[in-house]
C-alpha cells in the first residue's frame, strides 16, 4: 500500500488516500473531491472542476494522469 495526499493530486488539503495502484488513489481522490464539494467545501471546487475536465478530455488529461502514475510509482512502499 502507498498513499498520496489530496494535495499531491492537485487538491487543497492534506487528506491521504491509500491504495496499491495509482488508479485506486486517483479514484479515491475523485470521490473525495465530489464529497467535499457536495458537503459545501468551496476549497475543493476548482480541483473537482479540473478532475471532471480530465474525464471529458481524456487526451488532454492524460499528461496529468501519467504524472500521477509516475509520482505514485516513485513513492516508497509503506
Ligand atoms: Zn482534499
Confidence of residue 78 (pLDDT cuts 50, 70, 90): low
Q: Are 64 and 54 in contact (CB under 8 A)?
A: yes
Q: How many whole angstroms from 32 Cα to the centroid of ligand 1? A: 7
Residue 56 alpha carbon to ligand 1 centre in Å: 21
CA triplet 5, 30, 35: central angle to 5 degrees? 95
The average confidence (pLDDT) of the chain is: 94
Block residue for cell numbers 473537482:
48
Rounded to the nearest angstrom, the distance between the alpha carbon of 45 and the centre of ligand 1 is 10
Rounded Cα–Cα distance for residues 59 and 72 (Å): 20
pLDDT digits (tens, 9 = 90+) for 16-49: 999 999 999 999 999 999 999 999 999 999 999 9
Nine cell digits for residue 20: 496499491
Amino acid at each position: 500500500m502507498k498513499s498520496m495526499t489530496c494535495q499531491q493530486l492537485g487538491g487543497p488539503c492534506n487528506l491521504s488516500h491509500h491504495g496499491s495502484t495509482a488508479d485506486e488513489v486517483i479514484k479515491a481522490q475523485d470521490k473525495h473531491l465530489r464529497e467535499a464539494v457536495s458537503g459545501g467545501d468551496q476549497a475543493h471546487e476548482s480541483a473537482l472542476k479540473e478532475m471532471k475536465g480530465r474525464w471529458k478530455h481524456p487526451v488532454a488529461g492524460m499528461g496529468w494522469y501519467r504524472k500521477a502514475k509516475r509520482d505514485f510509482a516513485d513513492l516508497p512502499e509503506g
